[in-house]
Structure 1
Amino acid sequence: MTTTLADEFETQRPRLFSLAYRLLGSAEEAEDAVQDAYLRFSGADRTGIEHPAAWLAKVVTNLCLNRLTSARARRERYVGTWLPEPVVTADGALGPLESAEQRDAVSMAMLVLLERLTPTERAVYVLREAFGYGHREIAGVLDLSEANCRQLYRRAVQRVGEPQARFEPASEQQEELVTSFITAARDGDLAGLEKLLAADATWWSDGGGKVTAARWPIEGGPRVAQFLAGGGPKFAAGLEFTVTEVNGATGLASWAGDTLVGLAAFEVRDGLVVGVRAVVNPEKLAFARRQLTRP
């Protein structure tokens, strides 16, 4: 059976999307970058492509580097807290997440940390940590010297910290915790929320100026509990909630009828919620809407 160019590309698409998403923090832009790579692949002289997977990884990486420069300028003008576009990962959309380290690599927390890096530092870090590229391979992708790539990697690690599993992986116990959390918030149960939140818990919400959301992080378990107990019943009125996996973590999907109106990723440590990143900007939910169907 003859393998067509399109078939060959499709075998690479999941990996290329995962790479582009880690580089951009945007699922929609990652899809666009992968599609642009396909157009270049289909129009290229195939005799000059000895290793299609490596060739495509280089093309996608450089397409993302071009996009990152303009994305950074847009984020400087962003209204309120900026968070990455959430991705539902239970179906393997970002590749296998079998270890705590793999889950941490696609977490909302890590993607926010990667915003500290220059575009080239981010590319070096992602290729090294998420895809296991050696410094020589990275140098080939970015057209840099191997020594320069090593230096960029060291600088990136200094800015985001050593790779590690920062939070507990998703589990049935976490699903129960998240269910209890949203029940307490819906009921305005301040005491119940305080029992579920760590003392140093933080709440981030991204509305992008499109919908009502806290514009700045709310820090400290008691303050988060007060914020949710005060506004939770009003916010939750008419909504339904389902537990799902968001960026490798236990998450919550909010529904208004058949419309997805929010996705939140929970960070849990020692059985308590230490962080919640909630995306309610409708423009950032388009990809997840296509992933999910209303239960």
Structure 2
Amino acid sequence: METQQRLAEQFEEERPQLSAVAYRMLGSLSEAEDAVQESWFRLSRADVSEVRNLAAWLTTVVSRVCLDMLRTRQSRREEPLDVHLPDPVVTAGDGMDPEAAALAGDSVGWALLVVLDTLAPAERLAFVLHDMFAVPFDDIAPIVERTPAATRKLASRARGRVAGRSTTVAPDLGRQRDAVEAFYAAAGNGDFDALLAVLDPDVVLRADTGAALAGAAKLRRGAKEVAAGAMLYRRPGAVNRPAVVAGAAGAVTYVDGKPVSVTAFTVTEGRITHIDILSDPVRLAALPLPPLP
């Protein structure tokens, strides 16, 4: 009993790190929680008396679980989804609580999670473990059942897909917030020129509506098209509350007191390069969103 209690305590110490790994691997808060829970089940049934580094052992276990989940997900997906956004970590205002910060981290924006969703399972694992958590390729290789050299190539291919996608989150939330507020002010005032001024010429807007809003534009490219969409879809009575979404400045939009969308903005050099919107009511209902004040 004493040994099991000690294992439980050690596991809880590692839980934030394991959750962070699983979230980056899966892009789903509920699946990440399932993966972490499965790693506890495996720990509770295993003989780890000879394990010298329990943290590394647990990282390996949760990575294997995530890899299996990604492969199962890929085999079930017959056709690529039109637009699918990973689950965002959302907190109110301009700050993040410790648990949310551990999940989102400084380097994980929604735009990056979208790119990670396009990677093959083994590529994603190699990139996440090595580039985000500094796990050596020698330790990753057995998980993906490849040589260290081949594992290095997996991470390199993934890195090439990620590079140049404007996926990093600007470190200054205040500057991000300035751009976001300018966007909402221009949209609210119907000021097309002001919208163009805050949008990057090559801005990309992605909207994940789920099964709702059939026929609505879910992908827009270019400042003029995105600005036109912002003017078109202004919602009477909508209230936008500032939030930190996947580590970036964003907002939760409420209508009649109920959340109808979560939006994150990627801001580069003062201009918005990506706008990601989750408005699927089923998924919104499952997210831990801050209540309307």
Give the TM-score category using the shorter length.
0.7 to 0.9
Query: CA contact under 8 A between 2:129 and 2:135: conserved in structure 1?
Result: yes
SS at 1:138 equivalent: helix
TM-aligned CA distance change 1:18 to 1:258, over 3 Å? farther
Q: Find the aligned partners of 1:23 and 1:84 in 2 and give their Cα distance.
A: 11
Partner of residue 40, structure 1: 42
Query: CA contact under 8 A between 2:200 and 2:273: conserved in structure 1?
Result: yes
Q: Find the aligned partners of 2:88 and 2:109 in 1 and give their Cα distance.
A: 9
Q: Find the aligned partners of 1:148 and 1:33 in 2 and give their Cα distance.
A: 26
Query: CA contact under 8 A between 2:265 and 2:274: conserved in structure 1?
Result: yes
Partner of residue 126, structure 1: 128
> What does the per-residue CA deviation read over 1:144-163, in whole Å, with 9 as the maximum and x for residues that have no partner?
32222122222222333389
Query: CA contact under 8 A between 2:259 and 2:284: conserved in structure 1?
Result: yes
CA apart distance, 1:113: 1.6
TM-score, normalization by structure 1 = 0.85
Q: Which amino acid is the alignment partner of residue 25 of structure 1? A: G
Partner of residue 284, structure 1: 283
Q: Which amino acid is the alignment partner of residue 95 of structure 1? A: A
Partner of residue 67, structure 1: 69
Query: CA contact under 8 A between 2:16 and 2:103: conserved in structure 1?
Result: no
CA apart distance, 1:108: 1.5
Partner of residue 218, structure 1: 220
TM-aligned CA distance change 1:8 to 1:286, over 3 Å? farther
Stretches of structure 1 lacking an aligned partner (at least 5 in a row)? none
Q: Find the aligned partners of 1:69 and 1:200 in 2 and give their Cα distance.
A: 33
Out of 181, 188, 193, the position equivalent to 2:183 is 181
CA apart distance, 1:122: 0.8
Partner of residue 97, structure 2: 91
Stretches of structure 2 lacking an aligned partner (at least 5 in a row)? none
> What does the per-residue CA deviation read over 1:50-95, in whole Å, with 9 as the maximum and x for residues that have no partner?
3221121111111111111232355554653111111126224252
> What does the per-residue CA deviation read over 1:115-154, in whole Å, with 9 as the maximum and x for residues that have no partner?
3321111101110011011111222444432222122222
Q: Find the aligned partners of 1:48 and 1:293 in 2 and give their Cα distance.
A: 47
Q: Find the aligned partners of 2:124 and 2:103 in 1 and give their Cα distance.
A: 21
CA apart distance, 1:287: 5.6
CA apart distance, 1:170: 3.7
Query: CA contact under 8 A between 1:206 and 1:213: conserved in structure 2?
Result: no
Q: Find the aligned partners of 2:120 and 2:131 in 1 and give their Cα distance.
A: 16
Matched, 1:274 2:281: no
Matched, 1:6 2:8: yes
Count of paired positions: 285
Matched, 1:171 2:173: yes
Partner of residue 251, structure 1: 250
Structure 1 ranges of 4+ moved more than 6 A: 162-165
TM-aligned CA distance change 1:114 to 1:66, over 3 Å? same
TM-aligned CA distance change 1:293 to 1:7, over 3 Å? farther
Query: CA contact under 8 A between 1:88 and 1:246: conserved in structure 2?
Result: yes
CA apart distance, 1:14: 0.9
**Where in structure 2 are the equivalents of 1:189-208 lying within 5 Å?**
189-208=191-210
Percent identical pairs in the alignment equals 34
Q: Find the aligned partners of 2:165 and 2:151 in 1 and give their Cα distance.
A: 17
Matched, 1:112 2:114: yes
Deviates more, 1:14-23 or 1:49-58: 49-58
TM-aligned CA distance change 1:210 to 1:10, over 3 Å? farther
Q: Which amino acid is the alignment partner of residue 91 of structure 1? A: D
Matched, 1:27 2:29: yes
Query: CA contact under 8 A between 1:263 and 1:280: conserved in structure 2?
Result: yes
Q: Which amino acid is the alignment partner of residue 267 of structure 2? A: V
Query: CA contact under 8 A between 2:208 and 2:218: conserved in structure 1?
Result: no
Q: Which amino acid is the alignment partner of residue 189 of structure 1? A: D
SS at 1:263 equivalent: strand
Query: CA contact under 8 A between 1:265 and 1:277: conserved in structure 2?
Result: yes
TM-score, normalization by structure 2 = 0.86
The root-mean-square deviation of aligned C-alpha atoms, in Å, is 2.6
